[in-house]
């Protein structure tokens, strides 16, 4: 068994999972500090910026699903392996950090959770320091490296979690598939933007692999594998996770166009300016092409452009008037219903079913 990086207290209830995850992450970051300090220079300071990014808010959705999946498959929160399982669940936040840091670069996002994104922060440090070279290129380079570091540290945290060799073997394929899927989904997102694939199917494929797989489906699968669940429960978890994960991203698509910046921490209408080919936008185009070619042309010219606030508002109104918002909300409701049916028919514990049901409904109604 590996030697875990410090003791932690497993959560006593689902609502206490985020705090327990924060504790596990802080302990892990403390264990990395001697290594980063030994490298020298300002590397320790840069790693500290990554630590601050990870610990700066976030709902800890992925670890909570993994932990609940483990409990639902027979895991014992009071058992001897609970702290090790929590560390594995917490590692999902480092995978998330990698995805967010790199996504912010790709999308040229200036803020995240109300703070400057990492590439913007380090570009600012470059300018303030009067260093040589291009500040923006420096910021992006450092952020890429810190995103890579987050992914490497996610693997470290799993390896050093303290779970036994049998459990490590069970979760290995799940962990590997999840990492590949999220990177594949990100690739599809970038590729679709430049090829202008406007289909709903393409947007749903991106949602499936860029978000759903590593947000809900694979975390639940990971929890089930940690508990040694049978194939039937794993299949039910994955069906539930896929449907609810896609619904989660569809809600995110709505927030990316209509969300309140004070709540989301990102500028309103960012998805339109960034050229995101979301299901929402695809549904709007589908309807515009069928009923009003002029409106369809307006949408195509606007997506990805440097829009003024008034232009963003006009595009919003067009999307609403076309019925795209209503269509996406209906899809969210349908996916939530099918996902919950898969969960209800599973062998998960009643308590876990109740928790997962409540989480699924909350994700479909969130405002940030």
| Domains within the chain, CATH numbers bracketed | 1-163 (1.10.600.10), 164-368 (1.10.600.10)
pLDDT tens across the length of the chain (368 residues): 344 555 566 676 777 899 999 999 999 999 999 999 999 999 999 999 999 999 997 889 999 999 999 999 999 999 999 999 999 999 999 999 999 999 999 988 898 888 999 999 999 999 999 999 999 999 999 999 999 999 999 999 999 999 999 999 999 999 999 999 999 999 999 998 888 788 999 999 999 999 999 999 999 999 999 999 999 999 999 999 999 999 999 999 999 999 888 777 677 788 899 888 899 999 999 999 999 999 999 999 999 899 999 999 999 999 999 999 999 999 999 999 999 999 999 999 999 999 999 999 888 776 65
Burial of residue 278 (CB within 10 Å: 0-12, 13-18, 19+) is: buried
Does this model's pTM top 0.95? My answer is no
Distance CA 286, CA 341 (A): 30
Q: What is the per-residue DSSP string for 36-84?
A: HHHH-TTHHHHHHHHHHHHHS----HHHHHHHHHHHHTT--TTSTTHHH
Residues with Cβ within 8 Å of 81's Cβ and at least 6 positions away in sequence, in order, are 162, 163, 164, 167
Distance CA 77, CA 79 (A): 6
């Amino acid at each position: 068994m590996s030697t875990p990086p410090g003791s932690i207290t497993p959560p006593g209830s689902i609502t206490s999972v985020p705090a327990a995850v924060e504790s596990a992450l802080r302990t892990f970051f403390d264990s990395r500090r001697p290594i980063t300090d030994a490298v020298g220079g300002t590397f320790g300071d840069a790693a500290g910026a990554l630590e601050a990014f990870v610990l700066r808010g976030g709902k800890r959705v992925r670890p909570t699903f993994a932990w609940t999946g483990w409990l639902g498959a027979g895991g014992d929160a009071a058992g001897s392996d609970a702290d090790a399982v929590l560390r594995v669940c917490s590692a999902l936040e480092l995978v998330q950090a990698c995805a967010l840091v790199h996504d912010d670069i790709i999308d040229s996002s200036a803020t995240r959770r109300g703070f400057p994104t990492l590439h913007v922060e380090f570009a600012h440090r470059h300018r303030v320091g009067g260093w040589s070279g291009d500040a923006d290129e420096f910021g992006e380079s450092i952020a890429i490296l810190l995103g890579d570091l987050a992914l490497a540290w996610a693997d470290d945290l799993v390896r050093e979690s303290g779970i036994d060799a049998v459990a490590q073997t069970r979760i290995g394929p799940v962990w590997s598939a999840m990492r590949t899927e999220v990177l594949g989904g990100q690739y599809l997102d970038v590729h679709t933007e430049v090829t202008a694939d406007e289909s709903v199917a393409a947007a749903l494929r991106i949602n499936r692999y860029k978000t759903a797989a590593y947000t809900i489906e694979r975390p639940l699968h990971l929890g089930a594998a940690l508990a040694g669940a049978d194939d039937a429960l794993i299949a039910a978890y994955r069906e539930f996770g896929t449907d609810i994960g896609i619904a989660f991203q569809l809600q995110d698509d709505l927030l990316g166009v209509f969300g309140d910046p004070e709540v989301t921490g990102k500028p309103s209408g960012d998805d339109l300016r960034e050229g995101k080919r979301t299901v929402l936008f695809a549904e709007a185009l589908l309807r515009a092409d069928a009923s009003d070619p002029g409106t369809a042309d307006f949408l195509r010219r606007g997506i990805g452009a440097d829009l003024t606030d008034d232009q963003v508002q006009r595009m919003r109104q067009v999307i609403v008037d076309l019925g795209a918002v209503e269509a996406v909300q209906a899809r969210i409701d349908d996916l939530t219903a099918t996902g919950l049916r898969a969960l209800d028919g599973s062998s998960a514990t009643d308590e876990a079913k109740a928790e997962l049901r409540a989480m699924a409904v909350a994700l479909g109604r969130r405002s940030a």
